[in-house]
Structure 1
């Protein structure tokens, strides 16, 4: 009887561990990744930037960075959330086009079920031959962070992956 009970406990142990209050499913995060898309819009002479990050990761890093909880889904917190997202992204994402720093204007953000999208724009960029990017998004949250970047200029798309602690990417067109 003890042997049979022991087998049942061993089978239920993973379920009990995952379901316990000490270890939530959120603690067993399978991967940490962000995707940043940069598109040169020649007609508008601008760089259009979209950063996609898991909502829970972004909320966690904002809480850690600004020492205050943030709920990106609360309409009542939208202005505050936009301000914190802007500050965070400006600190952790810098772009140089043709050797000159690009000022990225934070346009806004939107949240879907699992992700938050941050929209930025760099103005007065007529052409791009070279982009140098520093992307340290979520590096201050986990050493498991991976940042993927896709850059499109003149219809040509280039991509790279930055594994922590790498932050620098260079693209030539």
Structure 2
């Protein structure tokens, strides 16, 4: 129950922050789900379109944008499962107005006791950037934040 209230409160807080369009708020939100049937960690990241465009120095309406986003995510997110570094597989992206949705995954994960994640998305370009990540593994939810000076986090299950 406390987790539900916390998640609801966090959601309301984020919605209220995003409702101030003229206010520069630098954040990303990532949802990580473990899919037991396929032994896959699936990542879904929501980013601000103009911020990603500035970071990649490419127009989001061009065909080359997805390739640049893929390269950018691969250069700014590192994951180790149970102490072993893993390779991210980019599965796509979608520009939807002010948001870019980025999809990537890690396959062949049979069991997770720890995840060590480095997330520097947009932190170099925007020092006030905060990256929030909700990780769900077999019914357990962990939330971690990344920001300048705290780009790496580890969770245990």
Q: Pick the TM interval, shorter chain.
A: 0.7 to 0.9
Where structure 2 has 5 or more consecutive residues not aligned to the other structure, the ranges are 1-20
User: What is the distance in 2 between the residues matched to 1:146 and 1:155?
Assistant: 25
**1:36 Cα deviation (Å)?**
1.5
Q: Indicate conservation of the 8 Å contact 1:130/1:171, yes or no.
A: yes
SS of residue paired to 2:73: helix
Give the number of the structure whose residues are more often helix, by fraction: 1
- Give structure 1 regions of 4+ aligned residues with deviation exceeding 6 angstroms: none
**1:29 Cα deviation (Å)?**
4.0
Verify: 1:107 aligned to 2:125, yes or no: no
Verify: 1:93 aligned to 2:100, yes or no: no
Q: Number of matched residues?
A: 137
SS of residue paired to 2:56: helix
- Report the counterpart of residue 142 of structure 1 in structure 2: 126
Superposition TM-score, scaled by structure 2 size: 0.82
Where structure 1 has 5 or more consecutive residues not aligned to the other structure, the ranges are 1-25, 64-69
Q: Indicate conservation of the 8 Å contact 1:97/1:128, yes or no.
A: yes
Write the mapping of 1:74-85 to structure 2, written as runs, cut at 5 A: 74=61, 77-78=62-63, 80-85=64-69
Q: 1:116 aligned to 100, 113, 116, which one?
A: 100
- Report the counterpart of residue 126 of structure 1 in structure 2: 110
SS of residue paired to 1:43: coil
User: What is the distance in 2 between the residues matched to 1:167 and 1:95?
Assistant: 12
User: What is the distance in 1 between the residues matched to 2:28 and 2:104?
Assistant: 15
Write the mapping of 1:13-92 to structure 2, written as runs, cut at 5 A: 29-63=23-57, 70-72=58-60, 74=61, 77-78=62-63, 80-92=64-76
Superposition TM-score, scaled by structure 1 size: 0.75
User: What is the distance in 2 between the residues matched to 1:99 and 1:126?
Assistant: 14
Of structures 1 and 2, the larger Rg is shown by: 1
Question: CA RMSD for the aligned pairs?
Answer: 1.4
